[in-house]
């Protein structure tokens, strides 16, 4: 039984799940983000998740999760 190991062209991929079935180099992910107008900075997995979200949501950007900065309880004015 012969398996199809030929990765399809990006334009033929229609869902994030289908995109995730294939192996992509980070440089390829950066190029895909640049050509589709997505932000292209971040780790390989951030880029993959961003592309998968855009494929599943009509090109929308992955919402950013606001990270809270740690607050120090040390009071410099009193010390």
Instruction: Give the mean pLDDT of 20-43.
Output: 91
pLDDT of 27 > 60? The answer is: yes
In this structure, is residue 1 part of a structural domain?
no
Per-residue pLDDT at 52: 92
Which pLDDT band holds residue 30 (cuts at 50, 70, 90)? Answer: very high
How many folded domains does the chain comprise?
Answer: 1
In this structure, is residue 24 part of a structural domain?
yes
In this structure, is residue 30 part of a structural domain?
yes
In this structure, is residue 28 part of a structural domain?
yes
In this structure, is residue 26 part of a structural domain?
yes
Q: Is 20 exposed, middle or buried (0-12, 13-18, 19+ CB in 10 A)?
A: middle
Domain that holds residue 24: 11-56
pLDDT of 79 > 90? The answer is: no
Hey, what's the torsion of the CAs at 26, 32, 37, 43, to 10 degrees? -10
pLDDT of 11 > 70? The answer is: yes
């Amino acid at each position: 039984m012969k398996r199809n190991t030929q990765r399809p062209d990006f334009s033929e991929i229609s869902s994030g799940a289908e995109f995730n079935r294939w192996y992509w180099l980070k440089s390829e992910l950066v190029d895909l983000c640049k050509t589709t107008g997505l932000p292209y900075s971040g780790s390989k997995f951030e880029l993959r998740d961003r592309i998968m979200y855009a494929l599943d949501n009509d090109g929308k950007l992955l919402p950013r999760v606001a990270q809270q900065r740690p607050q120090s309880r040390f009071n410099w004015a009193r010390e």
